[in-house]
């Protein structure tokens, strides 16, 4: 678990998770556990060979059981749902209960298990359940319980008001995090000259939108020619959308992006701000693409392993050595990830398992 790179917005769990003295987990910690940590750890613990998983075996039942529960969790936390999602939740939850009976034949049915049978109907009636969840109320109760009143009950109203005012100032629109990021940007103003290979790749990238762009080394340049200069300004991070911030360092350096209609993944190595041949400023990512080793394939001997990855919303791939340039507008989300040792899941080296940080009900395959 210590090897997992969790994104900035994901709640951390106790370092001694699994021991009796770590205490009770909060609701948001349970979500982090089943949405991110378990998908990044469980496959390596229970999969010996990717093409030898049988659903009837004990290992296969455990993997499917966890996968069904994670899939139910993802559907419940989705920000957009359809009638199909409601139907899928009911199907996956039934499979979860069936595999639970197979693994734990003496387990007792709890009230929460019965209540969960109705969540599919609630999804169909109310839409995304996070809008009607009690999390915010529970969080408020937790804040109130942590306020120290020193036994002065008569002053408790004033004490709570002061505490909430302080909290609102800290979590206001002008946050500490935004101030920190703006300070970072002001320091990153020095120009660097690209290496020959990096420049040639950037020129090829620019020519996709400006075919008449010229190489600065090809002299003499015709009059009014569009010349791409080899100088760029490195950036530490970039806010690509309201909820997605990408950086060149951990933990926000693994991205999910969509290009030419296909969903892909990569590790960000550099963020460059440069002047395009037309003289306007432009930002670009320099990334190592991640090759998806186990995409959907119903005829492959490893089809059950691929199916379990789909249930977990996890991608197992290999970080490629080549570099490519990517426009920030292509980025859809960042991802939590864990680097794999050599020969894990049949990947000689550079293996990685990742889980996108988004709220879709299903893993985006295309």
d(CA 213, CA 208): 10
To which H or E segment does residue 299 belong?
none
What is the rounded CA–CA span in Å between residue 357 and residue 16? 24
What pLDDT score was predicted for residue 44? 94
Residue 356's pLDDT is 94
Side-chain-side CA neighbours of 1 within 13 Å: the count stands at 13
Backbone CA torsion sign across 342, 344, 348, 352: negative
Structure tokens at 38: 């378990």
pLDDT, residue 137, reads: 75
E runs forming strands in the chain = 192-193, 213-215, 226-228, 231-235, 237-239, 245-247, 254-259, 262-275, 281-292, 315-319, 324-326, 331-339, 351-356
Residue in the structure block whose two tokens are 């991640």: 290
pLDDT recorded at residue 242: 86
Express each pLDDT in 189-225 by its tens digit.
689 999 999 999 999 999 998 988 999 998 888 888 8
Please, what's the b/e burial string for 325-350 (b: 16 or more CB within 10 A of its CB; e: otherwise)?
bbbbebbbbbbbbbebeeebbebeeb
Q: Using CA atoms, how far apart are residues 128 and 140, in angstroms rounded to an integer?
A: 21
Query: For residues 289 and 313, is the Cβ–Cβ distance under 8 A?
Result: no
Residues of the chain with pLDDT under 70: 132-135, 149, 151-153, 155-156, 171-189, 365-366
């Amino acid at each position: 678990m210590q090897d997992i790179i969790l994104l900035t917005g994901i709640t951390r769990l106790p370092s001694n998770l699994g021991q009796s003295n770590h205490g009770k987990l909060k609701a948001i910690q349970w979500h982090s556990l089943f949405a991110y940590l378990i998908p990044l750890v469980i496959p390596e613990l229970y999969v010996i060979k990717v093409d030898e998983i049988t659903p009837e075996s004990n290992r296969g039942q455990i993997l499917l059981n966890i996968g069904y529960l994670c899939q139910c969790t993802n559907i419940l936390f989705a920000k957009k749902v359809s009638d199909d999602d409601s139907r899928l939740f009911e199907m996956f939850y039934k499979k979860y209960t069936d595999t639970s009976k197979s693994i734990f034949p003496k387990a007792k049915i709890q009230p929460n298990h019965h209540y969960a049978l109705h969540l599919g109907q609630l999804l169909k009636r109310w839409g995304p359940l996070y809008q009607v969840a009690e999390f915010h109320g529970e969080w408020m109760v937790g804040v109130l319980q942590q306020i120290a009143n020193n036994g002065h009950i008569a002053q408790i109203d004033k004490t709570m008001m002061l505490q909430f005012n302080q909290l609102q100032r800290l979590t206001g629109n002008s946050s500490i995090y935004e101030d920190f990021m703006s300070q970072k940007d002001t320091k990153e103003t020095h120009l660097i000259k690209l290496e020959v290979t990096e420049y040639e790749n950037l020129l090829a990238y620019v020519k996709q939108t400006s075919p008449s762009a010229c190489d600065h080394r090809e002299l003499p340049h015709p009059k009014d020619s569009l010349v791409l200069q080899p100088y760029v300004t490195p950036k530490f991070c970039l806010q690509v959308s309201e909820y997605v911030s990408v950086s060149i360092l951990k933990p926000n350096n693994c991205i999910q992006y969509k290009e030419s209609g296909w969903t892909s993944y990569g590790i960000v190595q550099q963020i460059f701000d440069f002047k395009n041949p037309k003289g306007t400023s432009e930002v670009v990512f320099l990334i190592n693409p991640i090759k998806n080793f186990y995409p959907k394939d119903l005829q492959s001997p490893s089809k059950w392993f691929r199916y379990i990855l789909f249930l977990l919303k996890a991608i197992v791939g290999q970080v490629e050595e080549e570099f490519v340039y990517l426009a920030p507008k292509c980025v859809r989300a960042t991802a939590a990830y864990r680097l794999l040792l050599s020969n894990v899941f049949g990947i000689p080296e550079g293996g990685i398992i990742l889980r996108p940080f988004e709220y879709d009900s299903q893993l985006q395959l295309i």
